[in-house]
Amino acid sequence: MHSSPPALSSPPAEPKRANNGMNILLRPAAPADANAAADVYLASRKAFIAFAPLVHSDAEVRQWITHLLIPSGGVTVAVGDDVVGLMATSREAGYGWVDHLYVAPAFVGAGIGSRLLAQAKSELGSPIRLYTFQANKGARRFYERHGFKAIAFSDGQNNEEHCSDLLYQWVAAD
């Protein structure tokens, strides 16, 4: 005789997600955000671009974020209960640059990356450039959906990971 499986009193827990990114505050990164920002960076790199292994240890990445990236300015964090996204921007030779944009894997698809990119467009103006790896199809779809066009492809000899990359550019519509 077979018995029925026990009834669940509540459905299984869903992965923690932001409500379309709307419960998330975007603000300049502070030194106290460094460890959580490093967690996001490392988790995102390992989840989405494992094909481009980090050439630095986790400890070195944490030191870089703590002592170089955040103190340099231009870093925005997306914060809910904790840091769930980060973006670093800069200006060079007449271009705005998105140097880094990472969202915690559990929050991808919640609109956080779109909000960070919209902030970059608002703050940097046009044109904006960024690099991504050619094999990072999710990032490529994301940037193309947001109006970025691929303008140059490389074999990756100029990046630390030596993975083929591409240069994107966004130019505001007239």
102 belongs to a structural domain: yes
pLDDT at 16 over 60: no
Contacts (Cβ under 8 Å, ≥6 apart) of 28: 73, 75, 76, 77
Query: Higher model confidence: residue 52 or residue 149?
Result: 149
Does 37 map to a domain?
yes
Looking up residue 120, the CATH number of its domain turns out to be 3.40.630.30
**Cis status, amide bond into 5, omega within 30 of 0:** no
Q: How far apart are CA 39 and CA 33, in angstroms?
A: 10
Q: Is residue 2 part of a domain?
A: no
Specify whether the CB–CB gap between 26 and 115 falls below 8 A. Answer: yes
In a domain, 92, yes or no: yes
Q: Is residue 6 part of a domain?
A: no
Question: In 149-161, which positions are buried (b, 16+ CB within 10 angstroms) versus exposed (e)?
Answer: eeeeeeebeeeee
Residue 9 has pLDDT above 80, yes or no: no
- Encoded tokens for 88: 């670093």
pLDDT, one tens digit per residue, over 64-114 is 999 999 999 999 999 999 999 999 999 999 999 999 999 999 999 999 999
CB-based contacts of 130, cutoff 8 Å, min separation 6: 97, 98, 99, 101, 143, 148, 167, 168
Mean pLDDT of 114-119: 97
15 has pLDDT over 90: no
Residue 86 to residue 103: CA distance in whole angstroms: 7
Range of the domain at 54: 25-170
Whether 113 is covered by a domain: the verdict is: yes
First-last CA distance in the chain: 73
The total number of structural domains that make up the chain: 1
pLDDT in tens, 157-169: 898 898 999 999 9
pTM over 0.75: yes
